[in-house]
Chain A
Amino acid sequence: MNTNSNSYTVIFSVVMVVIVATALALTAEGLKPMQKENVRREKMQNILSSMGVETDRDGAAALFDTHVKERLVLNASGEETARKSGEVKAGDTEDAFNIDVQKEYKEWKAGSRSANDINYPLFICDKDGATIYVVPLVGTGLWGPIWGYIALESDMRTIAGTSFDHKTETPGLGAEINEKPFQAQFEGKFVSDKDGTFTSVKVVKGGATNEHEVDAISGGTITSDGVDEMIERTLKVYEPYFKSNQ
């Protein structure tokens, strides 16, 4: 058989492409539920971690159901538009848990979504009898998206905890935002003044001096600024809600 003729080459290529494409599509479809489940559990794990409940990914789903009581969606003016409780249903787009804040943020940045159409989820949780409010954050670091959760205590101004994550920040520098030492600094800081006026937590260089400041990561200035910006921009939207419910 002449393996160098044109028709043979074409037939060979077509057969190869069909085989490879079928095999890949089958594997991808087969493994997709497990991959989606991993992503979902990680999200639960991060929410729990921000309020100080540490767990591994396998335990996340059960603990999430125990601790997270209600899932709210706010619009850009801080008004409640949806409220869910009980089990998270996969395709329910009104459920705060299913809102992809990163995707909406990206669309907003790219100009295909107006600032008024962004949804703001709020998780009302319960930890040892105390109510905790968890707000998802999303912003931009040095290289790519950064995201996280900030948990507020029942007075809606004391930070109970945070968790941040990233994909592409510089290892050893900006990447430190997903390490405990950086995240723990936020605990006990305040996001509003005593009279309830919104005053965000600042990530500052050269040492935090008051209850609205935490230390930036040395060498990770731009990532730190990103954290600073996303906390301020996001929490500002929730201010009216917090004020009216205080």
Chain B
Amino acid sequence: MNYVNIFVQSIFIDNMIFAYFLGMCSYLAVSKTVKTGVGLGAAVIFVLGITVPINYILENKFLQEGALTWISPELASVDLSFLSFIMFIAVIASIVQLVEMAVEKFSPALYGALGIFLPLIAVNCSILGGSLFMQERQYANIGEATVFGLGSGVGWFLAIVAIAAIREKIRYSHVPAPLRGLGITFIITGLMGIAFMSFMGIKL
């Protein structure tokens, strides 16, 4: 049940966009049409689902204080946690690169759909954010971490598809000139965030 709980909570309550504003840059830039929104959203789910568990292993087997004891008990006092930012971002950058190459080789159709979005993802804050939250929340095992990664991705996907759909429609409305484009997108996102807050406190 814990898995379902983490999944639902990371989608709806601690949504990457509405609660933490992570990945806002690409969220605002790529949400002009639903089609691109879906593409980028899918890529985010994919990459978060892979990088969070990998970084979980890295964190628990290499970086934490005392994490190296599986190599030798003498290493118990080694604390490499100061390297975690740089290791996480390196893992993310290389995974994105690998995924891009693999997708291109094995599924040209998927590459056609996701390809142009993958390079954008290395600098999408929600990806690094996923790993950093995983580190801070200290999930008990790799299963929980994976579910958290996937859930956060789905939450991000939901947010970008929703805003893209609204932006497609809002073109036909009379928005005050200075608010057009960016301004109204911010305000709509805020309102959506308020709506999402009604999910708070849900526990399955």
Residues of A with Cβ closer than 8 Å to B?
20-21, 24-25, 27-28, 32, 106, 109-110, 142-145, 167-168, 170, 173, 219-222
- How many whole Å from A237's CB to the nearest CB in chain B? 21
CB neighbours of A109 from chain B (8 A): 140
A-B contact pairs, 18 of them (CB 8 A): A20-B86, A21-B83, A24-B82, A24-B83, A27-B82, A106-B138, A110-B140, A143-B9, A144-B138, A167-B136, A170-B13, A170-B19, A219-B200, A220-B201, A221-B201, A221-B203, A222-B201, A222-B203
The one of B82, B133, B140, B200 in contact with A28, judged by C-beta atoms closer than 8 angstroms, is B82
Residues of B with Cβ closer than 8 Å to A?
9, 13-14, 19, 79, 82-83, 86, 133, 136-138, 140-141, 200-201, 203
What 12 additional pairs, Cβ within 8 angstroms, besides A27-B82, A109-B140?
A24-B82, A28-B82, A32-B79, A106-B140, A110-B140, A110-B141, A143-B14, A144-B136, A144-B137, A168-B137, A219-B200, A222-B203
CB neighbours of A170 from chain B (8 A): 13-14, 19, 200
Q: Once bound together, how far apart are the Cα atoms of A38 and B50, in whole Å?
A: 35
CB neighbours of A221 from chain B (8 A): 201, 203
Q: Once bound together, how far apart are the Cα atoms of A99 and B86, in whole Å?
A: 30
Most buried by A among B9, B14, B200: B200
Secondary structure at chain A's binding surface: helix, strand, loop or mixed?
A: helix
CB neighbours of A173 from chain B (8 A): 200-201
- Which 10 residue pairs across A and B have the least CB separation, nearest first? A144-B137, A28-B82, A110-B140, A109-B140, A221-B201, A168-B137, A143-B137, A222-B203, A144-B138, A168-B136
CB neighbours of B201 from chain A (8 A): 173, 219-222
CB neighbours of B136 from chain A (8 A): 144, 167-168
CB neighbours of A27 from chain B (8 A): 82
- How many whole Å from A231's CB to the nearest CB in chain B? 19
Q: Once bound together, how far apart are the Cα atoms of A23 and B141, in whole Å?
A: 33
CB neighbours of B9 from chain A (8 A): 142-143
- How many whole Å from A97's CB to the nearest CB in chain B? 18
For B64, give the chain A residue with the smallest CB separation.
Answer: A103
CB neighbours of B133 from chain A (8 A): 168
Q: Once bound together, how far apart are the Cα atoms of A109 and B141, in whole Å?
A: 9
Q: Once bound together, how far apart are the Cα atoms of A157 and B137, in whole Å?
A: 33
Most buried by B among A28, A143, A167, A222: A143
CB neighbours of A222 from chain B (8 A): 201, 203
CB neighbours of B200 from chain A (8 A): 170, 173, 219
Q: Once bound together, how far apart are the Cα atoms of A221 and B203, in whole Å?
A: 9
For A108, give the chain B residue with the smallest CB separation.
Answer: B140
- How many whole Å from B84's CB to the nearest CB in chain A? 11
Q: Once bound together, how far apart are the Cα atoms of A220 and B203, in whole Å?
A: 11
- How many whole Å from B126's CB to the nearest CB in chain A? 16
CB neighbours of B13 from chain A (8 A): 170
CB neighbours of A219 from chain B (8 A): 200-201
CB neighbours of A24 from chain B (8 A): 82-83, 86
Q: Once bound together, how far apart are the Cα atoms of A219 and B14, in whole Å?
A: 14
Q: Once bound together, how far apart are the Cα atoms of A105 and B22, in whole Å?
A: 30
- How many whole Å from B37's CB to the nearest CB in chain A? 27
- Whether A145 contacts B138 in the complex (CB less than 8 A), given A219-B200, A222-B201, A222-B203, comes out as yes
For B14, give the chain A residue with the smallest CB separation.
Answer: A143
CB neighbours of A143 from chain B (8 A): 9, 14, 137
For B66, give the chain A residue with the smallest CB separation.
Answer: A103
For A167, give the chain B residue with the smallest CB separation.
Answer: B136
Q: Once bound together, how far apart are the Cα atoms of A128 and B113, in whole Å?
A: 71
Q: Once bound together, how far apart are the Cα atoms of A24 and B83, in whole Å?
A: 8
Q: Once bound together, how far apart are the Cα atoms of A80 and B137, in whole Å?
A: 32
For B200, give the chain A residue with the smallest CB separation.
Answer: A219
